[in-house]
């Protein structure tokens, strides 16, 4: 096993900051069929509605603030920059707002648009995608949100597994395990810690050495102590 500590997060990390997830009953996703605005091919036949949906999501994150868990991750990454790797399934920018460096966004990043032909990426921050930025300045093709839709390839997964090959401690925060099998990820590590709001049918407790069932915004102190203890042991 390697010596890296990998902090792997999902929607539960940002939940107490008020970020809508597609599993929320009253979130942005509730009004939409994910097959129409977040599945492979939807840009071909539902371009405008898809773009508008992600414009709303960008607006949704604009004023959201990082919570204690984001700040804890940022603190540890700053303190141990070569020891800690930060990987997230989230497309929001709350880790960046907490000044966390070198975050690997597995499923894309809401602030970015990507060319559908040459894959050039631009950052529009919280602006809307409109006629002024929807044409690639490199090749003239259409731009799209730089988000991995269901059914599309996720190129950053290869980077994730390369990092996990050197993982000693895996810390999983706020994911149901339905999109990425964290039971499998835990096998890369010598030790694994789980923090979720509640148990998930997709996660086997026996894969983890320590489990905290509570909001990441309150569990962060214990997680930070665990990581510090592990590094200094």
Structure confidence at residue 222 (pLDDT): 98
Last residue of one domain, picked from the residues 126, 147, 168: 147
The low-confidence residues of the chain, meaning pLDDT below 70, are 1-2, 20-32
Burial 114-152 (b: 16+ CB within 10 A, else e): bbeeeeeeeebeeeebeeeeeebeeeeeebbbbbbbeee
Q: 70 an active-site residue?
A: no
Structure confidence at residue 37 (pLDDT): 83
Residues 73 and 164 in one domain: yes
Structure confidence at residue 13 (pLDDT): 97
Cβ distance 115 to 133 under 8 Å? no
Tokens of 164: 């996990």
Structure confidence by residue, pLDDT tens digits, 46-81:
999 999 999 999 999 999 999 999 999 999 999 999
Cβ distance 106 to 148 under 8 Å? yes
Residues 42 and 9 in one domain: no
Structure confidence at residue 1 (pLDDT): 42
Residues 80 and 184 in one domain: yes
Cβ distance 82 to 110 under 8 Å? no
Last residue of one domain, picked from the residues 97, 126, 147: 147
Residues 6+ apart with CB under 8 A from 229: none
Residues 124 and 223 in one domain: no
Burial 206-215 (b: 16+ CB within 10 A, else e): ebbeeebeeb
List beta partners, residue 169.
5, 191
Structure confidence at residue 36 (pLDDT): 81
Q: How many independent structural domains does the chain possess?
A: 2
Cα 173 versus chain centre, distance? 10
- One of 32, 70, 105, 107 is an active-site residue; which one? 107
Residues 92 and 187 in one domain: yes
Last residue of one domain, picked from the residues 147, 169, 197: 147
Q: Is residue 182 exposed (0-12), middle (13-18) or buried (19+ Cβ within 10 Å)?
A: buried
Residues 172 and 227 in one domain: yes
Which residue is associated with the tokens 């840009």? Answer: 43
Structure confidence at residue 220 (pLDDT): 98
Domain of residue 187, CATH code: 3.40.50.1220
Range of the domain at 195: 1-18+64-107+153-233
Residues 91 and 131 in one domain: no
Residues 11 and 114 in one domain: no
């Amino acid at each position: 096993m390697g010596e890296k500590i990998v902090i792997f997060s999902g929607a539960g990390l940002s939940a107490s900051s008020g970020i809508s997830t597609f599993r929320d009953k009253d979130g942005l996703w509730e009004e939409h069929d994910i097959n129409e605005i977040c599945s492979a091919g939807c840009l071909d036949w539902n371009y405008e509605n898809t773009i508008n949906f992600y414009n709303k999501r960008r607006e949704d994150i604009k004023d959201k603030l990082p919570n204690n868990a984001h700040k804890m991750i940022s603190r540890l990454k700053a303190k141990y920059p070569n020891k800690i790797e930060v990987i997230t399934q989230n497309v929001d920018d709350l880790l960046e707002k907490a000044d966390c460096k070198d975050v690997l966004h597995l499923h894309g990043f809401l602030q970015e648009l990507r060319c559908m032909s040459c894959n050039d990426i631009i950052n529009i921050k919280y602006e809307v995608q409109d006629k002024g930025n929807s044409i690639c300045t490199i090749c003239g093709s259409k731009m799209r949100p730089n988000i991995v839709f269901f059914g599309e390839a996720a190129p950053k997964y290869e980077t994730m597994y390369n990092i996990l090959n050197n993982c000693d401690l895996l810390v999983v925060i706020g994911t149901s395990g339905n999109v990425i099998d964290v039971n499998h990820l835990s096998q890369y590590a010598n030790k694994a810690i789980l923090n979720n709001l509640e148990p998930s049918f997709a996660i086997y407790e026996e894969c983890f050495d320590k489990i905290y069932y509570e909001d990441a915004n309150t569990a962060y102190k214990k997680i930070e102590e665990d990581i510090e203890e592990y590094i200094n042991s």
